[in-house]
Structure 1
Amino acid sequence: MTIIADILLVAGAVGAGFYCLVLSRRLRRFSDLEKGVGGAVAVLSAQVDDLSRTLNAAQNTAKGSVDRLDDVSARAEAAGKRLELLVASLHDLPGPAEKPNEETAFFRRRGTGGEARQ
């Protein structure tokens, strides 16, 4: 009976050793920097860094655009105020001269014979 127990104990130990060997190889492949999760984490980390730099550049560009837009808007408001003043000052000018009416206009033309015509 002890021989059977010893054989089963040795078989269990060999099985556990084989199981540990398989797990070790899988874990090594899993954490491999080239192909496994370690490689994916390294690639994602590089992409996050690139994305952060791109986002910072976009924020700086947007901030510059907002500043320029504020400047242009202020200049446009100032120009609008000047135009309002100019239009308001046009109301103070006299209107255009009236066109002569055909009934009020009186022209005399002399013909060849010295007669006056209307």
Structure 2
Amino acid sequence: MELIADIMLVAGALGAGFYCFVLSRRLSKFTDLEKGVGGAVAVLSAQVDDLTRTLTSAQDSAGESSRSLEELTERAEDAARRLELLVASMHDLPNTPNPEDETVEPIFRRRSRS
């Protein structure tokens, strides 16, 4: 009976050893930096770094554009206020006829033949 138990124990140990060997080979392929998931993780990490730099650059550009737009808006509002004042001051001017609007009719005179 002890012989059968020892044979079963050795067979189990050999099976566990073979399983560990196969698992080790699969795991080494899985974590390979060129072909496996390790490579994919490395590529994704590099892409995340690139996207972070691009996003930072885009945020800086958007901030500059926003500041420029705010300055232009302020200038436009100032110009609009000045134009409103000029239009309001035009109402205070007296109405003068425009000399170009008056039509001058020609005067015809006859001369005598004497």
Regarding TM over 0.5, the answer is: yes
**CA apart distance, 1:94:** 2.5
Name the counterpart of 1:88.
88
Distance 1:106 1:54 in 2: 75
Structure 1: which 5+ runs fail to align? Answer: none
Distance 2:86 2:56 in 1: 45
**CA apart distance, 1:80:** 0.8
**CA apart distance, 1:33:** 1.2
Question: 25-34 or 59-68, which moves further after superposition?
Answer: 25-34
Cα RMSD after superposing both structures: 2.4
Structure 2: which 5+ runs fail to align? Answer: none
**CA apart distance, 1:14:** 1.1
**CA apart distance, 1:87:** 1.1
Letter paired with 1:110: R
TM-score, with length taken from structure 2: 0.81
- Pair 1:107–1:32, CA change in 2 (3 A): closer
Runs of 4+ in 1 over 4 A off after TM superposition: 98-101, 105-108
> Identity of counterpart residues, as a percentage?
61
- Pair 1:4–1:77, CA change in 2 (3 A): same
Letter paired with 2:73: S
TM-score, with length taken from structure 1: 0.79
Letter paired with 2:9: L
- Pair 1:3–1:59, CA change in 2 (3 A): same
Letter paired with 2:82: R
Which has the larger Rg? 1
Matches within 5 A, 1:30-109: 30-97=30-97, 109=108
Distance 1:55 1:108 in 2: 81
Name the counterpart of 2:110.
111
Name the counterpart of 2:28.
28
For these two proteins, the number of residue pairs brought into alignment is: 111
**CA apart distance, 1:7:** 2.2
Name the counterpart of 2:8.
8
Could you say what secondary structure the match of 1:40 adopts? helix
Could you say what secondary structure the match of 1:109 adopts? coil
